[in-house]
């Protein structure tokens, strides 16, 4: 037994699972992988994932938090605010204050809360300019956790995420292996045993990250990811427009044979593995 019978994940693209894709193009991500660990093969474990890519903190707190409070699960994971602090001129202190109000409401309801610091962007070309803002926000998050009795997954301290192979080409989202390691770290923070260790070295014979081998990679990245993001901001658009939560209701975590061990074993990256499934949903639109 893992000590948790129900779990709700709220947040943005990080929690939705970009870019950890199943063969059908849907996203898995660390939260689904963590849910598999918490379920531990039980058919009575229930899970919902309300996260949607591109969501700003106020949207997470007004659209997703009330749903989580109504559900009252044993555990809620919260990761939000990253989209806010990267906006030029954003007040990190104000973002943190809004985040704290949400955590306080969950803890007052008697719900266990797990939050995530931002990762260290020092090794990410161009994105490294955000390092100081992420560091300040992280300091707030640790203080919030201390004041309200929440637990913290410290992505900044995960040196394994400093490897380029943990990051997708967009330098904003993690690869499937990055998500797997984050799920293992989250389980460890919750005191849930796993068969694998997130600290294990990266295979020496695996190829380097694609974005590290591209010629003029910074220019390629700017054209493919930064400029479209700027255009969306100017238009008041979000990559989450028209996207619905992938698991909007608390439901049993149904897995195919062997899927419950996918997080802890090598099968986590197998393209033949079948996804975690819930009640049938309409196909979700994909944003550029």
Specify the CATH architecture of the domain 6-259. 3-Layer(aba) Sandwich (3.40)
Contact 100, 144 (CB under 8 A): yes
Rounded to 10 deg, the angle between the 29-39 and 176-189 helix axes is 50
Residue 229: the pLDDT is 67
Residue 245: the pLDDT is 96
Q: What are 23-72's pLDDT values in tens digits? A: 888 899 999 999 999 999 999 999 999 999 999 999 999 999 999 999 99
Q: Which residue has the tokens 């939050």?
A: 115
Residue 234 makes CB contacts below 8 A (sequence gap 6+) with none
Residue 270: the pLDDT is 30
Structure tokens at 114: 């797990």
Residue 279: the pLDDT is 36
Instruction: Say how many Å lie between the first and final Cα of the chain, rounded.
Output: 40
Residue 261: the pLDDT is 34
The list of the chain residues with pLDDT below 50 reads 215-216, 255-288
Given strand 75-79, what is the order of strands in its sheet?
151-153, 112-116, 75-79, 6-11, 46-49, 247-252
Q: What distance in Å separates the CA atoms of residue 93 and residue 252, rounded to the nearest whole number?
A: 38
Q: What distance in Å separates the CA atoms of residue 57 and residue 175, rounded to the nearest whole number?
A: 23
* Domain boundaries defined on the chain: 6-259
Contact 250, 73 (CB under 8 A): yes
Residue 233: the pLDDT is 64
Closest Cα partner for 38 from 197, 246, 189? 189
């Amino acid at each position: 037994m893992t000590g948790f019978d129900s779990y709700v994940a709220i947040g943005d693209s990080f929690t939705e699972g970009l870019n950890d894709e199943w063969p059908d193009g849907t996203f898995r991500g660390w939260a689904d992988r963590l849910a598999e660990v918490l379920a531990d093969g039980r058919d009575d474990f229930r899970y919902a994932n309300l996260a949607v890519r591109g969501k700003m903190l106020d949207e997470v707190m007004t659209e997703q938090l009330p749903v989580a409070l109504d559900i009252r699960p044993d555990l809620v994971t919260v990761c939000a605010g990253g989209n806010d602090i990267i906006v030029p001129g954003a007040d990190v202190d104000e973002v943190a204050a809004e985040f704290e109000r949400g955590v306080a409401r969950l803890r007052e309801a008697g719900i266990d809360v797990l939050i995530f610091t931002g990762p260290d962007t020092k090794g990410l070309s161009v994105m490294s300019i955000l390092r100081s803002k992420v560091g300040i926000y992280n300091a707030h998050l640790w203080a919030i956790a201390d004041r309200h009795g929440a637990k913290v997954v410290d992505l900044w301290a995960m040196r394994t995420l400093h490897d380029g192979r943990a990051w997708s080409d967009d330098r904003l989202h993690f690869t499937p292996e990055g998500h797997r390691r984050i799920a293992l770290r989250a389980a460890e923070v919750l005191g849930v045993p796993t068969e694998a260790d997130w600290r294990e070295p990266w295979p020496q014979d695996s190829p380097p990250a694609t974005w590290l081998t591209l010629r003029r990679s910074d220019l390629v990245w700017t054209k493919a990811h930064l400029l479209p993001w700027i255009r969306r901001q100017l238009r008041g658009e979000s990559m989450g427009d028209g996207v619905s939560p992938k698991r909007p209701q608390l439901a049993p975590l149904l897995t195919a044979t062997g899927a419950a061990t996918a997080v802890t074993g090598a099968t986590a990256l197998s393209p033949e593995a079948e996804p975690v499934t819930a009640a049938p949903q309409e196909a979700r639109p994909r944003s550029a």
